[in-house]
Chain A
């Protein structure tokens, strides 16, 4: 046990005294945690750049944009063709595009459509955007649904009020109709009780009576004339008799006892007529009273009509109010905004989407490790000292390490692309451009690896450092953790990560079929990195070489001095 402890103690001492190892082994994880802590120490949940496309930047679109901005989204507005926004997803300027209608309010029975344009190769981002932006739309959709429902409910309420109001009128109408009905019934009864069997016209009876009287008088006159006439007596007597018969036929009296003949009949008729007149008078009286009842009834009916008109008016306005509500489909009211997701690249397998990242991953780690290893081999080679006296420029040595690396990396790229060509035959046209990007990427990471190699003295530490560098680069590439969750400042810095740039380039070329002409700026940045790093190595090698020589000599001297002592 003691031996174990002693050995452990010795190992720890060696670890701590080897500054490079200590730095990497002990402090690298702490540094990593610190960096991650600083990176993700943000209350901002998302840092997505959302492109909002609308044909017209209406206040409603503005309020939606404000809603997104409140959630710390960076909103880029597009008015023209939505394709402009889609192209900027491909170049990574925006993470997603949302094409929104200029107005969210639903007028007809058709839900408004909101289209999301997303890059399916950024799976994590797609879900995040769908969830987060979709949430905003759901909220807006709920608001609109609420407005629509509120409209319907307010119309129902006003209808209810209208019905409540006309209900009293209808009750009044009912009463009035009841009284009109009873008045009509009593009129009916009155009228049915009328005896309108009239015996004849009283005037004609008077005339008849007058004419009877006149006829008698004329008969009397005819008798007188007969008597005075110079006619034979027989004639006279015959005439007298005839006239008397006629007079007898006309009768006499006023209908009372003793009356007879036509006069009596006329008198009888007259009395009948009088009776009829009195009946008719009674009937007239009845009719008069009935007319009044009917007048009341008519007025009640008229009032009823007015009331009915009012009710009808209310009902019409209610009907109009209900009819004015255009959105009547339950589905539209429940979901007035419908979202649609459009993938901006062709549907492919996950290999397609992961391919850019995988390529860069392989190239990054290979280049880093190889760059470091080759420098360490050269540095630790016994021939390193002899190389100092060779008439060869330092830059040639650096370039030779780079070229060695490239040969290996190019072989690797050829193998990877060869295998990839088998699986991704539809994307084979993009391979030359991909190869060029990989070449530049490999150069950048080779130089980074070489820097690590020049900085560290122990091979193990350098290898560990290059792996750590690769891991850090991977960690902050957005491949494992979304960059959008990071603090804005770190996000800006991380956009400069060569891994991020290279992966973006491959994605654009491979997934979106962008030409090199489309991505030349990013490619130039990457090439600039390579050139910059090459110069850094050049300068560093010159400085470090002298420093290392001095360090080596000082150590050498100290060691010998201590030995002598």
Chain B
């Protein structure tokens, strides 16, 4: 079911065009990933969808679950924002308040009654695994805990939509995993999540749909298959690490049925037109030449690959 419609949205800061003609639909219950390099415009897009910024052109509309009518975000922001939770990249809690005080504060700002506040706070503390730290001053929390508190604060009023801007930035892998799991858990509670990040692996793991932005333009949009579709011929790739024989391997690869060869110096990536015969031929030729390999990997095209393809094409 449609939840957010983004139609022809552009954004300028002065003469600087940050976003250009963005058209997206976010479905209810999705975890929608906005992917892009730093400065590509993903945070701006997130801010436009959340209503923090107004578009220079186009419109963002929220679709009513009752009658499917579209409500312009700008016109109905006061009503819509009650259903929005936003967790920015950097902590957005009061550092001098405790975890519990922060939760109570933001909850009470939505007019929740005392009992509801207590119940929601307790549930969220358990949900985010912060219960035992509830009386800690926020500025004393670790990055991961702070991020969890941020998400908890955004969820205190039980929003229908949660925006997350770079939720895994500056987190170690374990904390990153915790946050990803938390996002999944949030989504499982029926909350639509829109997440902007350049941590492609994380996004790939958690998101059901993606929009890849480069230089303010949505280059690709849809589920994983839809994103991959333009690069179907490159869906499979072979990564070879040949160490000192790298140059010779590149020469051999040129003889094979590959659409493209990428040589990064320490790794050669081959995009085979016929995966099976290419692998067989490659291994045969390497054996014939007496070349050894440090590593050989057969990989399906990932989001990161698609992203790289897109950015390379743009450059």
**Beta-carbon nearest neighbor of A556 in chain B:** B43
A389 touches B44 (CB 8 A): no
Q: Which of the candidate stretches A361-369, A478-486, A546-554 sits at the interface with the other chain?
A: A546-554
**Cβ of B52 < 8 Å from any Cβ of A?**
yes
Contacts A382-B95, A385-B88, A391-B110 given; does A553 touch B39 at CB 8 Å: no
Q: Given the complex of chains A and B, what is the CA–CA distance between A389 and B50 in angstroms? A: 9
Residue from A381, A384, A561 having most chain B Cβ neighbours under 10 A: A561
Contact with A along B189-226 (1 / 0, CB 8 A): 00000000000000000000000000000000000000
Residue from B39, B40, B81 having most chain A Cβ neighbours under 10 A: B39
Q: Given the complex of chains A and B, what is the CA–CA distance between A556 and B153 in angstroms? A: 24
A392 touches B39 (CB 8 A): no
Which range holds the interface residue count of chain A? 20 to 34
Contacts A386-B106, A560-B38, A564-B37 given; does A391 touch B92 at CB 8 Å: no
With a cutoff of 8 Å between Cβ atoms, the chain A residues found around residue B66 in the complex are none
Contacts A385-B88, A386-B92 given; does A557 touch B16 at CB 8 Å: yes
Q: Given the complex of chains A and B, what is the CA–CA distance between A564 and B111 in angstroms? A: 43
Contacts A553-B44, A556-B43 given; does A386 touch B93 at CB 8 Å: yes
**Beta-carbon nearest neighbor of A564 in chain B:** B39
With a cutoff of 8 Å between Cβ atoms, the chain A residues found around residue B38 in the complex are 560, 563-564
**Cβ of A27 < 8 Å from any Cβ of B?**
no
**Beta-carbon nearest neighbor of A559 in chain B:** B39
A382 touches B92 (CB 8 A): yes
Contact with B along A377-411 (1 / 0, CB 8 A): 00001111110111110000000000000000000
* Shortest distance from the beta carbon of A391 to any chain B beta carbon, whole Å: 5
Number of A-B contacts (CB under 8 A): 75
With a cutoff of 8 Å between Cβ atoms, the chain B residues found around residue A550 in the complex are 13, 53
With a cutoff of 8 Å between Cβ atoms, the chain B residues found around residue A392 in the complex are 109
- Partner of B109 from the list A382, A390, A549, A558 (CB cut-off 8 Å) is A390
B93 touches A383 (CB 8 A): yes
Which range holds the interface residue count of chain B? 35 or more
Contacts A383-B93, A385-B92 given; does A391 touch B82 at CB 8 Å: yes
- Partner of B81 from the list A389, A549, A558 (CB cut-off 8 Å) is A389
Contacts A549-B52, A564-B37, A564-B39 given; does A391 touch B111 at CB 8 Å: yes
Q: List residues of A (394-439) whose CB comes within 8 Å of B's CBs.
A: none
* Shortest distance from the beta carbon of B13 to any chain A beta carbon, whole Å: 4
* Shortest distance from the beta carbon of A161 to any chain B beta carbon, whole Å: 99
With a cutoff of 8 Å between Cβ atoms, the chain A residues found around residue B93 in the complex are 382-383, 386
Contacts A382-B93, A383-B92 given; does A388 touch B41 at CB 8 Å: no
Q: Given the complex of chains A and B, what is the CA–CA distance between A386 and B44 in angstroms? A: 16
With a cutoff of 8 Å between Cβ atoms, the chain A residues found around residue B109 in the complex are 390-392
* Shortest distance from the beta carbon of A383 to any chain B beta carbon, whole Å: 5
**Cβ of B187 < 8 Å from any Cβ of A?**
no
With a cutoff of 8 Å between Cβ atoms, the chain A residues found around residue B20 in the complex are none
Q: Given the complex of chains A and B, what is the CA–CA distance between A384 and B93 in angstroms? A: 8
B44 touches A557 (CB 8 A): yes
Q: Given the complex of chains A and B, what is the CA–CA distance between A381 and B138 in angstroms? A: 12
**Beta-carbon nearest neighbor of B97 in chain A:** A383
B78 touches A391 (CB 8 A): yes
Q: Given the complex of chains A and B, what is the CA–CA distance between A121 and B81 in angstroms? A: 57
With a cutoff of 8 Å between Cβ atoms, the chain A residues found around residue B44 in the complex are 553, 557
- Interface of chain A: mostly helix, strand, loop or mixed: helix
**Beta-carbon nearest neighbor of B18 in chain A:** A557
With a cutoff of 8 Å between Cβ atoms, the chain B residues found around residue A557 in the complex are 13, 16, 18, 39, 41, 44
**Cβ of B276 < 8 Å from any Cβ of A?**
no
With a cutoff of 8 Å between Cβ atoms, the chain A residues found around residue B153 in the complex are 386
**Beta-carbon nearest neighbor of B163 in chain A:** A389
**Beta-carbon nearest neighbor of B39 in chain A:** A560
A549 touches B53 (CB 8 A): yes
**Cβ of B47 < 8 Å from any Cβ of A?**
yes
Q: List residues of B (223-244) whose CB comes within 8 Å of A's CBs.
A: none
Q: Given the complex of chains A and B, what is the CA–CA distance between A244 and B257 in angstroms? A: 239
Q: Given the complex of chains A and B, what is the CA–CA distance between A486 and B153 in angstroms? A: 57
**Cβ of B290 < 8 Å from any Cβ of A?**
no
With a cutoff of 8 Å between Cβ atoms, the chain A residues found around residue B3 in the complex are none
Q: Given the complex of chains A and B, what is the CA–CA distance between A556 and B85 in angstroms? A: 22
Q: Given the complex of chains A and B, what is the CA–CA distance between A386 and B86 in angstroms? A: 7
Q: Given the complex of chains A and B, what is the CA–CA distance between A11 and B37 in angstroms? A: 33
**Cβ of B14 < 8 Å from any Cβ of A?**
yes
With a cutoff of 8 Å between Cβ atoms, the chain A residues found around residue B47 in the complex are 553
**Cβ of B270 < 8 Å from any Cβ of A?**
no
Contacts A385-B86, A564-B38 given; does A390 touch B14 at CB 8 Å: no
**Cβ of B90 < 8 Å from any Cβ of A?**
yes
With a cutoff of 8 Å between Cβ atoms, the chain A residues found around residue B121 in the complex are none
Contact with A along B41-61 (1 / 0, CB 8 A): 101100100111100000000
With a cutoff of 8 Å between Cβ atoms, the chain B residues found around residue A554 in the complex are 13-14, 16
* Shortest distance from the beta carbon of A169 to any chain B beta carbon, whole Å: 112
With a cutoff of 8 Å between Cβ atoms, the chain B residues found around residue A385 in the complex are 52, 86, 88, 92
**Beta-carbon nearest neighbor of A565 in chain B:** B39
**Cβ of B84 < 8 Å from any Cβ of A?**
yes
* Shortest distance from the beta carbon of A194 to any chain B beta carbon, whole Å: 145
* Shortest distance from the beta carbon of A541 to any chain B beta carbon, whole Å: 16
With a cutoff of 8 Å between Cβ atoms, the chain A residues found around residue B14 in the complex are 554
**Beta-carbon nearest neighbor of A551 in chain B:** B13
Residue from A392, A553, A558, A563 having most chain B Cβ neighbours under 10 A: A553
Residue from B13, B14, B90 having most chain A Cβ neighbours under 10 A: B13
**Cβ of B131 < 8 Å from any Cβ of A?**
no
With a cutoff of 8 Å between Cβ atoms, the chain B residues found around residue A560 in the complex are 38-40
Q: Given the complex of chains A and B, what is the CA–CA distance between A384 and B106 in angstroms? A: 12
Q: Given the complex of chains A and B, what is the CA–CA distance between A282 and B95 in angstroms? A: 154
**Beta-carbon nearest neighbor of A562 in chain B:** B39
* Shortest distance from the beta carbon of B142 to any chain A beta carbon, whole Å: 15
Q: Given the complex of chains A and B, what is the CA–CA distance between A562 and B37 in angstroms? A: 12
Q: Given the complex of chains A and B, what is the CA–CA distance between A564 and B43 in angstroms? A: 15
**Cβ of B91 < 8 Å from any Cβ of A?**
yes
* Shortest distance from the beta carbon of A544 to any chain B beta carbon, whole Å: 15
Q: Given the complex of chains A and B, what is the CA–CA distance between A559 and B90 in angstroms? A: 16
With a cutoff of 8 Å between Cβ atoms, the chain B residues found around residue A388 in the complex are 52, 86
B86 touches A390 (CB 8 A): no
**Cβ of B94 < 8 Å from any Cβ of A?**
yes
* Shortest distance from the beta carbon of B179 to any chain A beta carbon, whole Å: 18
**Beta-carbon nearest neighbor of A393 in chain B:** B78
Q: Given the complex of chains A and B, what is the CA–CA distance between A292 and B118 in angstroms? A: 150
A553 touches B81 (CB 8 A): no
With a cutoff of 8 Å between Cβ atoms, the chain B residues found around residue A556 in the complex are 43
Q: Given the complex of chains A and B, what is the CA–CA distance between A550 and B111 in angstroms? A: 29
Q: List residues of B (58-113) whose CB comes within 8 Å of A's CBs.
A: 78, 81-82, 84-86, 88, 90-95, 106, 109-111
**Beta-carbon nearest neighbor of B88 in chain A:** A385
22 A-B pairs within 8 Å (CB atoms) are namely A381-B94, A381-B95, A382-B94, A383-B92, A385-B86, A386-B86, A386-B88, A386-B92, A388-B86, A389-B85, A389-B86, A390-B81, A390-B106, A391-B110, A549-B52, A553-B13, A554-B14, A554-B16, A556-B43, A557-B13, A560-B38, A560-B40
Q: A383-B94, A385-B92, A560-B39 are in contact. List 9 more A-B contacts (CB 8 A).
A: A385-B52, A386-B106, A386-B153, A391-B78, A391-B109, A550-B13, A553-B18, A557-B13, A557-B18
Q: Which 9 A-B pairs have the closest CB atoms?
A: A560-B39, A554-B13, A386-B92, A561-B39, A560-B38, A390-B109, A382-B91, A385-B92, A564-B39
